[in-house]
Amino acid sequence: MNDGCKSGLLATLLVAISLTSCVSKQTAVRVETQRDSLAVVVSEKDSLINAVFSDLNTISENLALIKSRENLITVAGESEGPRKPVEEINNDIAAIDRLLQENKTKMADLQRSAARLRKANLRIDALEKMIGDLNRQLADKASEIDRLRENLAGMGIRVDSLAADLAVKKVEVENLSGEKIELQNQLHTVYYIVGSEKELRDAQIINKQGFIGRTLTVGATSNLDSFTVADSRLLTEIPLGYKKVTVVSSHPEDSYELLLKADKSVEKIRINDPSRFWETSKILIISYR
């Protein structure tokens, strides 16, 4: 009920009072017999009507709050994005329950106010119709909340299933990530050895071929136990410190350099372009004498 309804009710009362001076004598007598009842209503009208409006406003506001809470829960349930925490959903439902209970209390107050107005012989058809409509709205809303609870319960089962699936997928991703890292490490794993020419020949790691200016070549051994394992992404220099050094394995000459000390001995080998250096061979063999 709005201010217009309140004004209409007051206007009805005023018209009833004004009839004492502008209606026929017979009507005036009839109004006189009702004066005591009307006097009671008139003396209480302010507090009673204010109570009616207060209850109506509270019920309307509560219905709006219930709808708002209900929409938040529904959106959270249907969203494909991050779901609303179960604790928040439970808090929303508890708040709805409190609002529904408050509305039931206010409806009881309204019905008592309507009974008092009827007792005062006031026409309250519009108010009674509004009370009936509100009662139906509250019943419908209670049914909607019950259905929402059922949906959330079913959704909880589906969410648990999705959470389990997600946990499995997470493990799979972690495993794949671990396998990827392991594969990358394998792809960048290289082996190198620095030894005297005699030691390397005795171990069949290198051979000497030809008769004039015999050339060192990589041997047939496949045993890498005596080699140092390294990561090509991290290995940039290998210290040497020998007079005569030969890079036996095959690597592009412009991808590395042998750095000399003041006494002309080779201080170290520096790998300037790791990608090119290791593209032809993952094994580096350096001999000295």
Angle of helix 125-187 relative to helix 35-78, nearest 10 degrees, comes to 20
The residue among 149, 165, 182 that closes a domain is 182
pLDDT on residue 47: 66
**Structure-model confidence comparison of residues 191 and 34, the more confident one:** 191
The SS3 call for residue 262 is coil
The domain total for the chain is 2
The residue among 182, 205, 221 that closes a domain is 182
Mean pLDDT lowest among 10-14, 93-97, 122-126, 137-141: 10-14
List Cβ neighbours of 75 (8 Å cut-off, separation of 6 or more).
Answer: none
Classify the phi-psi angles of 250: left when phi > 0, otherwise alpha if psi is within -120 to 50, otherwise beta: beta
Residues 169, 217: one domain?
Answer: no
Domain containing 251 equals 188-288
Per-residue DSSP letters for 127-154?
A: HHHHHHHHHHHHHHHHHHHHHHHHHHHH
The mean pLDDT of the chain is 74
pLDDT on residue 2: 52
Residues 156, 244: one domain?
Answer: no
| pTM, full prediction | 0.43
pLDDT on residue 86: 62
Residues 207, 94: one domain?
Answer: no
Residues 133 and 179: their CA atoms lie apart, in Å, by 66
pLDDT digits (tens, 9 = 90+) for 53-73: 777 777 777 777 777 766 766
Residues 164, 35: one domain?
Answer: yes
Residues 177, 238: one domain?
Answer: no
pLDDT digits (tens, 9 = 90+) for 200-230: 988 888 887 755 545 677 876 667 888 999 9
For range 243-248, the mean pLDDT: 92
For range 16-30, the mean pLDDT: 52
Residues 16, 78: one domain?
Answer: yes
Residues 148, 60: one domain?
Answer: yes
The residue among 157, 182, 207 that closes a domain is 182
Classify the phi-psi angles of 82: left when phi > 0, otherwise alpha if psi is within -120 to 50, otherwise beta: beta
Reported as a pLDDT band with limits 50, 70 and 90, residue 38 is very low
Reported as a pLDDT band with limits 50, 70 and 90, residue 37 is very low
Angle of helix 35-78 relative to helix 86-119, nearest 10 degrees, comes to 160
Residues 43, 113: one domain?
Answer: yes
